[in-house]
Structure 1
Amino acid sequence: MADKVYSPPPGPPPGYDASEFQTPSTYEVDQSPPPYHNWEEAVPDTATFPPPPVTGYYCSGAGNASSDDAERAHDFCNRVPLWKPMKPSRAVYSRVENDDFHPVRPREFNGDLSIISKGTWRGTTREKNGDCTIVTNLPLYFPHENSPLVTEKRKVIYFEVKLLYLGAGPGSGEADSSGLSIGFLAQPYPTWRSPGWERGSLGVFSDDGCRFVNDSWGGKDFIAPFQIGDTIGLGMVFSLPEDINSAPGSGSRLEVNVFCTRNGQRLEEWDLHEEVDQEAGGVKGLEGDFDLYGAVGLFGGVGFEVCFDRSGWLHQPE
Structure 2
Amino acid sequence: MCFGKSKNTLYDDEPPRPAPGQAPQQPIYAPDPSPKASMPPQYHHQSQAQPQAQYQPPPPQHQQQQQPPPPAELSGTSAPPVELSASDDFAPPPGPPPSSRPNHDHSDDYAPPSGPPPPRTTTRPLPDRHLPPDHQTRLRRAAPGPPPSHTKPAHDWESVVPDTSLFPPPPSFFSGFDRSPASNAPEHEAEAGEEWCMQHPLMAPLALDAGAQHLLQTHNTRLMPPSTGYRGTLEWTAHGVWAGRTDPSASDSCIIGYPPLYAVTQHSPLANAGRPKTIYYEVILPQDGNRGDVCLALGFTALPYPSFRMPGWHRASLAVHGDDGHRFVNDRWGGKTFTAPFRRGETVGIGMTFTGVEGRVVTDVFFTRQGKEVGRWNLHEEVDAHQDLPVTGLEGYHDLSCAIGTYSAVGFSVIFDPARWAYKPPVA
1:137 aligns with 2:255: no
Q: Which amino acid aligns with 1:220?
A: K
1:265 aligns with 2:372: yes
Following the alignment from structure 2 to structure 1, what is the Cα–Cα distance between the partners of residues 356 and 253?
Answer: 34
**1:278-293, aligned counterparts within 5 Å?**
278-293=386-401
Q: Unpaired segments of 5 or more residues in structure 2?
A: 1-171
Alignment match of 2:221 (pick from 86, 89, 101): 101
Structure 1 pair 76–117 and aligned structure 2 pair: CA distance change class (3 A)? same
1:68, distance to aligned residue in structure 2 (A): 1.4
Following the alignment from structure 1 to structure 2, what is the Cα–Cα distance between the partners of residues 227 and 74?
Answer: 31
Q: Which amino acid aligns with 2:206?
A: M
Whether contact under 8 Å (1:128, 1:168) holds in the other structure is no
Provide the identity percentage: 40
Following the alignment from structure 1 to structure 2, what is the Cα–Cα distance between the partners of residues 162 and 142?
Answer: 25
Match of 1:57 in 2: 177
**1:291-302, aligned counterparts within 5 Å?**
291-302=399-410
Match of 1:112 in 2: 233
More displaced stretch, 276-285 vs 147-156: 276-285
1:2-29 Cα offsets, whole Å, 9 max, x none, are xxxxxxxxxxxxxxxxxxxxxxxxxxxx
Whether contact under 8 Å (2:299, 2:350) holds in the other structure is yes
1:67 aligns with 2:187: yes
**1:179-218, aligned counterparts within 5 Å?**
179-218=295-334
Max Rg structure: 2
1:86, distance to aligned residue in structure 2 (A): 2.2
Alignment match of 1:87 (pick from 195, 202, 207): 207
CA RMSD of aligned residues (A): 1.5
Alignment match of 1:232 (pick from 320, 327, 348): 348
1:145-169 Cα offsets, whole Å, 9 max, x none, are 1010001200000000112247478
Whether contact under 8 Å (1:127, 1:167) holds in the other structure is no
1:219 aligns with 2:335: yes
Whether contact under 8 Å (2:270, 2:360) holds in the other structure is no
Q: Which amino acid aligns with 1:270?
A: W
Q: Unpaired segments of 5 or more residues in structure 1?
A: 1-51, 170-176, 245-251
Following the alignment from structure 1 to structure 2, what is the Cα–Cα distance between the partners of residues 163 and 210?
Answer: 18
1:54, distance to aligned residue in structure 2 (A): 5.9
* Secondary structure in 1 matching 2:399: coil
* Secondary structure in 1 matching 2:300: strand
Alignment match of 2:420 (pick from 290, 312, 316): 312
Structure number with higher strand proportion: 1
Larger relative contact order (C-alpha < 8 A, sep ≥ 6)?
Answer: 1
1:101, distance to aligned residue in structure 2 (A): 1.1
Following the alignment from structure 1 to structure 2, what is the Cα–Cα distance between the partners of residues 229 and 168?
Answer: 12
1:275, distance to aligned residue in structure 2 (A): 4.0
Whether contact under 8 Å (1:56, 1:220) holds in the other structure is yes
Match of 1:253 in 2: 360
1:147 aligns with 2:268: yes
Using the size of structure 2 for normalisation, the TM-score is 0.57
1:206, distance to aligned residue in structure 2 (A): 0.6
Structure 1 pair 54–156 and aligned structure 2 pair: CA distance change class (3 A)? farther
Match of 2:279 in 1: 157
Following the alignment from structure 1 to structure 2, what is the Cα–Cα distance between the partners of residues 90 and 54?
Answer: 46
1:276, distance to aligned residue in structure 2 (A): 2.6
1:93, distance to aligned residue in structure 2 (A): 1.0
Match of 2:121 in 1: none
Q: Which amino acid aligns with 2:281?
A: F
Following the alignment from structure 1 to structure 2, what is the Cα–Cα distance between the partners of residues 67 and 138?
Answer: 32
Structure 1 pair 311–178 and aligned structure 2 pair: CA distance change class (3 A)? closer
Q: Which amino acid aligns with 1:304?
A: F
Using the size of structure 1 for normalisation, the TM-score is 0.76
1:181, distance to aligned residue in structure 2 (A): 0.3
Q: Which amino acid aligns with 1:308?
A: F
Following the alignment from structure 1 to structure 2, what is the Cα–Cα distance between the partners of residues 214 and 229?
Answer: 29
Match of 1:126 in 2: 247
More displaced stretch, 91-100 vs 196-205: 91-100
**1:165-184, aligned counterparts within 5 Å?**
165=288, 167=290, 177=293, 179-184=295-300
